[in-house]
Amino acid sequence: MRRPYARFLAMAALSLPLTTAAPLGGHGLRDASPGVTFARLTDSAPAATAPPILPLPGGRSPSEQKAHSFYFTRAMYSGWGGGWGGGGFGGGSWSVDYPVADRWIVSVLGRLTGVDVFPLENPVRLDDPDLRRFPFLYALEVGGMNLRKEEVEGLRDYLLAGGFLVIDDFWGESEWYTFEREIRRILPEYEIVDIGLDHPIFSTFYEIDEIIQVPNVGQGIAGGPTHENGETGRIPRVRGIFDEQGRLMVIINWNTDLGDAWEWAEDPAYPLQYSTYAYQMAANFIVYAMSR
Amino acid sequence: MALGLWELLFKYPPLVFEKGRIVFATPLPAWVLVLATALAALAAWTYLLRVRELSGMDRAGMLALRTSLLALLLVLLFRPTLQVPVAVEQENYLGILVDDSRSMLVADDGSSTRAQELIQRLDTDLLEALSERFRIRLFSFSGDTKRVEEVGQLSFLGGQTRLGRALDQAQSELAGVSLAGLVLVTDGADQSEAELNSSVLSARASGLPVYTVGVGREEFQRDIEVRRVSSPRGVLRGTSMMVDLVIAQNGYAGRTVPLIVEDEGRVVNTQDVELPMDGTPATVRVHFTADEPGWRRFTFRVPLQDDELVTENNRRETLVNVREGPQKVLYLEGEPRFEVKFMRRAVTDDAEVQLVVLQRTAENKFLRLDVDSGEELVDGFPLTREELFSYRALVIGSVEASFFSREQLQMIVDFVSERGGSVLFLGGRRSFAEGGYAGTPIADLLPVELDPNGDPDYYRELKVTPTRAGAAHAALQLSSDPAESAERWSTLPELSTFNRLTRLKPGATSLLVGEGPGVEEGQVVLAFQRYGRGLVLALPVQDSWIWQMHADIPLEDETHETFWRQTLRWLVNEVPDQLTLTASAEPAAINHAVELQAELRDSAFQRINNAAISASIASPSGASTELPLRSTNQVNGEYLASFLPKEGGVHQIRLRAERDGEELATSTLALDAAEDDGEFFSAQMRAPLLRRIAEETGGRFYGLSDIEQLVEDVQYSGSGITRVESYDLWDMPIVFLLIVGLVGGEWAFRRRRGLP
């Protein structure tokens, strides 16, 4: 009984414009939607850190969906954390905010930019050869990342072939070290460097002149401190990994949570400045990834 | 032998019968003839009565033999005579043109040269015999024709054999005198056949027979020749050049020889070539990179093999303008697409190509990449010809036709047809018919036919395969080894298209086609056509980046980069500058004027007439010449000058156009001048050509071995001052043989049939 209702809510929410206040209750949507989408899988497959390719609504796998210019592709990676879905509801840390944030971002991006965007989520495992069909990849909560060898190789080849990875929503020193350890396994020969505001990624589509710390939804609505994980989570950083030609391969958004801002943009209680910034950053990432 | 037998039986050579006419020249009065005819008829009648009682077969046989004999005797009574116009002794001139070119130094049999054989044959009794009847005028010819007094004056050092020019100049020299004919002694290695055709027509029209004497062999026993080199005239520095050569050979079948490519003497490639069966030319494709800028002389040579008859034809040279970039290509993309990212990456290391991107990222929002200045493309897609024509090529991505104004659409057409630029149309949801281009000026430009409406739901995945033309095209070589290139094409992952395009325009060429479920046969993946001065390509796929990103493509694979680098270089390689310079003959011949033709246009590529253009020509020895070019006043923007190269080697020509003291444009040309160009290539004696010249003008073709026959034949040429000579036919041995045969036949018939 719960599943059809939840899907209806999700789709109804997606049909709304970004700036419209949604009376449907985003909190409920967040909790319900992932459970709906993955209920069948959790029935048949035990919880695993690297789940198989998930069917998309409509029953078509990502490989069957090639006709669009852009797919908001979410990295399904192995890590700590149990169960699926956002916030620890049955999935690994990769699935936080999934798929609502994904659906919001594709919906809004289709309107903000001229991108011919696939209108649904597109999660792909790092060791899936199909990953290479999607040169834009989003991964979050990487503080819980613990990659298998196949995933390391898959992601390394993906990035060296020309793929572009956006990292989001991890906080503080501890999570940084975890992520750094993993990314060193993937690209040991490349340095992680701070990206200055003069970098084209901050002006490719929108002019961004300040790096804002985007809080999680709870803190955002509560209006209190915006950081997590103590003092080391206080300063938001945008860092990157560049290849030999100086081309950006990985952009790392540390101490910020763009995904929550995408996901909760329709919540009237969530501050507009965060969601505006997050969507502007997303538009820049995507346009940049498709042109540089 | 056959001719000797003929003359034994018929008394006169066949040419006399060919040229003469038979008349009856009996001195007897008419009544005697009538009486004789009546008597013969009476005799036949009487004979008929006598044989009447014989059986049918016997009667017919006897009657036929006897009446034939009677008829023959009666004809002889009328005295048949051959009347032939014969050249009057010493009243006519005979022009003898002897090939003085270097190809006459070929020793066909490995011992004596053509020249030596020729001198031996001419200088003995032949000229003496001819001069008994004619006034001989001896000419030597190669590129030019001049009078000589004796054969000993021939040097055999000339180049650029021009048979047509030789015939024209000899005729002109001998105009006004009675001319019995021209004798052309040559190996027939003509360098200008078109010119020859008109000269032959002219000789034929004036009834002047040309007797041709072929010197040399029609086939060399042992020789290797680099016969033809097909290379582009201009390339960008760093271009991987693909040059096709034809290597002809005899006597070395099955042997593997190296083909060496040199860039100004530096070896840039060596390739083994296995020579096919004798007489069959080998077609060879060589790859090498043009690294050094400027006009470069590339040499293609096969080292001399043992016992080669002609040593000078194992190498060919070609001049190529290796240009430096960066050459600007404007890529307009109508939406954010990964094609932009990966195409830019593919050419990022190519210093000679600058891919300027104008990408529409949202409605009325554009991203400009790799522009030279803040002003470039600041107003979006260029609005003026000057701005658009500053690029050498355009790539137009997924952008609908309505994005452009009518003027911009026409400007794109003019960019190709007038500016000589290239345009590549990429596939996409907003491309081709799906982008509403049917019925626009762009539809005319495209190498493919558009459906009027397009199909917005069309989407197909395509396995891309080169066509035969594509497999041979330089831009589509994914490896220097053709087999490896074909293998790579066959293993590339599928691409996809939104654009159903299967119909090529007449004159367009399909290089890549796509196959797959639901894909119509002939789905174009890459096609091109020339349009005006420029080039138009259609590439109706939207995800060539798959060739870079796909999991089946190894990281080190360069297919995607190679494809785009070569394609973009192809687009810009031959795009003309504002000032162009061409020479009427390349290579030029020493001491023969060559016409330099320049074409000048302004930055909007409108032709300019009132400019001052001068050429600074640096000769190989370092001498410098200034040569002004004059406006032709016939073709807008065209300027001409005549240049006479006086020394062999490469002349560097620098052209400068200015107006009111302001420099408008410059251009360069390297012009090779050669003495012996072509003389040793295809130097076999060309009997068919010489035979044709003779037949078309009423002369005859001889080899050196039967040249004596010429002496007799030429007096019956019918040209010049002639008198009619009568030759009796009644005393031909064949007549007596016939009479004896008929009488003897009758006797034998009687004996055999037991007749009285």
Same domain, B512 and B558: yes
ipTM of the modeled complex: 0.82
Among the partner residues B336, B340, B496, nearest to A114 by beta-carbon distance: B336
| Paired strand residues for B236 | B323
Non-local CB neighbours of A154 within 8 Å, separated by 6+ positions:
A125, A126, A127, A128, A129, A131
CA distance A59 to chain B (A): 19
Instruction: Tell me the chain B residues in contact with residue A163 when contact means C-beta distances shorter than 8 Å.
Output: 549
Mean pLDDT to the nearest integer, B505-519: 96
B609 found inside a domain: yes
A290 to B336: CB separation less than 8 angstroms, yes or no: yes
Question: B451 — phi, psi (to 5°)?
Answer: -70, 145
A32 pLDDT higher than 90? no
Q: For residue B719, what pLDDT is reported?
A: 83
Among the partner residues B369, B461, B498, nearest to A291 by beta-carbon distance: B369
Q: For residue B1, what pLDDT is reported?
A: 59
CA distance A16 to chain B (A): 20
Mean pLDDT to the nearest integer, A29-39: 28
Interface probe for B, chosen from A124, A127, A291 (most Cβ of B below 10 Å), is: A291
A133 to B550: CB separation less than 8 angstroms, yes or no: yes
Instruction: For residue B423, give the nearest of B444, B446, B400 by alpha carbon.
Output: B446
B145 pLDDT higher than 90? no
Mean pLDDT to the nearest integer, B382-393: 97
B631 pLDDT higher than 60? yes
CA angle at B742 for the pair B738 and B745, rounded to the nearest 5°: 130
Among the partner residues A67, A162, A290, nearest to B340 by beta-carbon distance: A290
B546 to A133: CB separation less than 8 angstroms, yes or no: yes
Mean pLDDT estimate for chain B: 90
Distance CA B617, CA B622 (A): 9
pLDDT band at B677 (very low <50, low <70, confident <90, very high): low
Residues in A lying within 8 Å of B, measured between beta carbons: 66-67, 69-70, 112-116, 129-133, 135, 157, 160-163, 204-205, 245, 247, 286-287, 289-292
CATH code of the domain containing B162:
3.40.50.410
Instruction: Tell me the chain A residues in contact with residue B552 when contact means C-beta distances shorter than 8 Å.
Output: 129
Instruction: Tell me the chain A residues in contact with residue B541 when contact means C-beta distances shorter than 8 Å.
Output: none
Q: For residue A59, what pLDDT is reported?
A: 45
How many Cβ atoms sit within 10 Å of the Cβ of residue B215?
25
B402 found inside a domain: yes
How many residue pairs bridge chain A and chain B with CB atoms within 8 Å of each other? 87
DSSP B238: T
Same domain, B196 and B229: no
Distance CA B716, CA B698 (A): 11
Distances (CA, A) of A9 to A84, A85, B303, B635: 20, 17, 82, 74
A163 to B342: CB separation less than 8 angstroms, yes or no: no
Mean pLDDT to the nearest integer, B515-524: 94
Query: A12 or B166: which carries more pLDDT confidence?
Result: B166
Q: For residue A40, what pLDDT is reported?
A: 27
pLDDT band at B29 (very low <50, low <70, confident <90, very high): confident
Same domain, B154 and B101: yes
Same domain, B190 and B284: no
B477 pLDDT higher than 90? yes
Distance CA B631, CA B609 (A): 7
CATH code of the domain containing B591:
2.60.40.10
Could you report the per-residue pLDDT of A174-197, keeping only the tens digit for each? 999 999 999 999 999 999 999 999
Among the partner residues B342, B459, B551, nearest to A162 by beta-carbon distance: B342
Same domain, B254 and B282: yes
B335 to A114: CB separation less than 8 angstroms, yes or no: yes
Q: Within 13 Å, how many C-alpha atoms sit on residue A249's CB side?
A: 23
Instruction: Tell me the chain B residues in contact with residue A114 when contact means C-beta distances shorter than 8 Å.
Output: 334-336, 360-363, 365
Residues of chain A with pLDDT > 90, as a percent, come to: 63
CA distance B552 to chain A (A): 8
Query: B10 or B343: which carries more pLDDT confidence?
Result: B343
Could you report the per-residue pLDDT of B322-358, keeping only the tens digit for each? 999 899 999 999 999 999 999 999 999 999 999 999 9
Could you report the per-residue pLDDT of B534-577, keeping only the tens digit for each? 999 999 999 999 999 999 999 999 999 999 999 999 999 989 99
Q: For residue B671, what pLDDT is reported?
A: 94
Same domain, B267 and B125: no
A29 pLDDT higher than 80? no
Query: B39 or B332: which carries more pLDDT confidence?
Result: B332
A30 pLDDT higher than 90? no
- Ranges of H-type helices in chain A: 2-14, 26-44, 100-112, 149-161, 172-186, 217-222, 258-263, 272-289
Mean pLDDT estimate for chain A: 79
Which chain B residue is nearest to residue A163, measuring alpha carbons?
B549
Host H or E run for residue A142: none
How many Cβ atoms sit within 10 Å of the Cβ of residue B19?
20
Could you report the per-residue pLDDT of B55-106, keeping only the tens digit for each? 888 888 888 888 888 888 888 888 889 888 888 888 899 999 999 888 888 8
Among the partner residues A70, A116, A132, nearest to B549 by beta-carbon distance: A132
Which chain B residue is nearest to residue A66, measuring alpha carbons?
B496
CA distance B481 to chain A (A): 25
β-strand A136-140 against A122-125: which pairing, if any? unpaired
B337 to A290: CB separation less than 8 angstroms, yes or no: yes
Instruction: Tell me the chain A residues in contact with residue B496 when contact means C-beta distances shorter than 8 Å.
Output: 66-67
Residue B656 corresponds to which tokens in the numbers above?
A: 């400068």
Could you report the per-residue pLDDT of A191-249, keeping only the tens digit for each? 999 999 999 999 999 999 999 999 999 999 988 899 898 899 999 999 999 999 999 99
Q: How far apart are the first and last CA of chain B?
A: 43
Mean pLDDT to the nearest integer, B388-411: 97
A52 pLDDT higher than 70? no
Minimum mean pLDDT range among B109-113, B201-205, B296-300: B109-113
Could you report the per-residue pLDDT of A110-165, keeping only the tens digit for each? 899 989 999 999 999 999 999 999 999 999 999 989 999 999 999 999 999 999 99
Distance CA B641, CA B647 (A): 18
Mean pLDDT to the nearest integer, B26-51: 84
pLDDT band at B387 (very low <50, low <70, confident <90, very high): very high
Host H or E run for residue B659: strand B649-659
- Contact predicate B341/A138, CB 8 Å: no
B234 found inside a domain: yes
Instruction: Tell me the chain B residues in contact with residue A292 when contact means C-beta distances shorter than 8 Å.
Output: 341, 344, 369
Domain end (from B291, B323, B355): B323
Minimum mean pLDDT range among A268-277, B20-29, B93-102: B20-29
Could you report the per-residue pLDDT of A81-113, keeping only the tens digit for each? 543 444 434 468 898 888 899 999 999 998 999
Query: Sheet harboring B239-250: ordered strands across?
Result: B223-230, B239-250, B282-290
Distance CA B656, CA B340 (A): 38
Interface probe for B, chosen from A111, A132, A247 (most Cβ of B below 10 Å), is: A132
- Contact predicate B582/B597, CB 8 Å: yes
CA distance B376 to chain A (A): 17
A291 to B340: CB separation less than 8 angstroms, yes or no: yes
| Paired strand residues for B84 | B725
CA distance B431 to chain A (A): 14
Question: A18 — phi, psi (to 5°)?
Answer: -60, -40
Q: For residue A140, what pLDDT is reported?
A: 94
Distance CA B321, CA B327 (A): 15
Interface probe for A, chosen from B332, B333, B338 (most Cβ of A below 10 Å), is: B338
Domain of residue B705 covers: 89-217+684-720
Q: For residue B676, what pLDDT is reported?
A: 59
A42 pLDDT higher than 60? no
- Contact predicate B506/B500, CB 8 Å: no
Residue with the two structure tokens 């070569």: B566
CA angle at B418 for the pair B416 and B423, rounded to the nearest 5°: 10
Distance CA B568, CA B392 (A): 10
Omega of the bond leading into A17 within 30 degrees of 0 (cis): no
Burial label for B207, CB within 10 Å (0-12, 13-18, 19+), is middle
Q: For residue B192, what pLDDT is reported?
A: 67
Residues of chain B with pLDDT > 90, as a percent, come to: 55
Q: Can you say how many angstroms the Cα of residue A235 is from the centroid of all Cα atoms in its chain? A: 20
Distance CA B117, CA B106 (A): 11
Same domain, B230 and B210: no
Residue with the two structure tokens 């032939």: B84
Which chain A residue is nearest to residue B497, measuring alpha carbons?
A67
Same domain, B410 and B546: yes
B201 pLDDT higher than 80? yes
B235 pLDDT higher than 60? yes
B679 found inside a domain: no
Among the partner residues B338, B496, B498, nearest to A135 by beta-carbon distance: B338
A291 to B360: CB separation less than 8 angstroms, yes or no: no
A135 to B341: CB separation less than 8 angstroms, yes or no: yes
B473 found inside a domain: yes
B367 to A129: CB separation less than 8 angstroms, yes or no: no
pLDDT band at B684 (very low <50, low <70, confident <90, very high): confident
Return the SS3 of B114.
helix
Could you report the per-residue pLDDT of B303-326, keeping only the tens digit for each? 999 888 888 889 999 999 999 989
Count of structural domains within chain A? 1
B336 to A135: CB separation less than 8 angstroms, yes or no: no
A161 to B549: CB separation less than 8 angstroms, yes or no: yes
Domain of residue A116 covers: 2-289
A2 pLDDT higher than 50? no
Same domain, B112 and B78: no
Distance CA B676, CA B649 (A): 11
Q: Can you say how many angstroms the Cα of residue B624 is from the centroid of all Cα atoms in its chain? A: 34
Same domain, B490 and B615: no
Host H or E run for residue B35: helix B30-50
pLDDT band at B480 (very low <50, low <70, confident <90, very high): confident
Instruction: Tell me the chain A residues in contact with residue B342 when contact means C-beta distances shorter than 8 Å.
Output: 135, 162
Instruction: Tell me the chain A residues in contact with residue B461 when contact means C-beta distances shorter than 8 Å.
Output: 66
Could you report the per-residue pLDDT of B189-200, keeping only the tens digit for each? 766 667 788 888
> CA quadruple B262, B263, B265, B269: dihedral positive or negative?
negative
B551 to A130: CB separation less than 8 angstroms, yes or no: yes
CATH code of the domain containing A134:
3.40.50.12140
Burial label for B460, CB within 10 Å (0-12, 13-18, 19+), is buried
B336 found inside a domain: yes
How many Cβ atoms sit within 10 Å of the Cβ of residue B688?
11
B167 found inside a domain: yes
Q: What angle separates helix A26-44 from helix A2-14, to the nearest 10 degrees?
A: 130
Minimum mean pLDDT range among B215-219, B449-453, B659-663: B215-219
CATH code of the domain containing B466:
3.40.50.880
pLDDT band at A14 (very low <50, low <70, confident <90, very high): very low
Q: For residue A53, what pLDDT is reported?
A: 43
A16 pLDDT higher than 60? no
Could you report the per-residue pLDDT of B115-129, keeping only the tens digit for each? 888 888 877 678 888
A6 pLDDT higher than 60? no
Same domain, B348 and B236: no
Query: B143 or A261: which carries more pLDDT confidence?
Result: A261
A252 pLDDT higher than 90? yes
Same domain, B434 and B569: yes
Instruction: Tell me the chain B residues in contact with residue A132 when contact means C-beta distances shorter than 8 Å.
Output: 549-551
B462 pLDDT higher than 90? yes
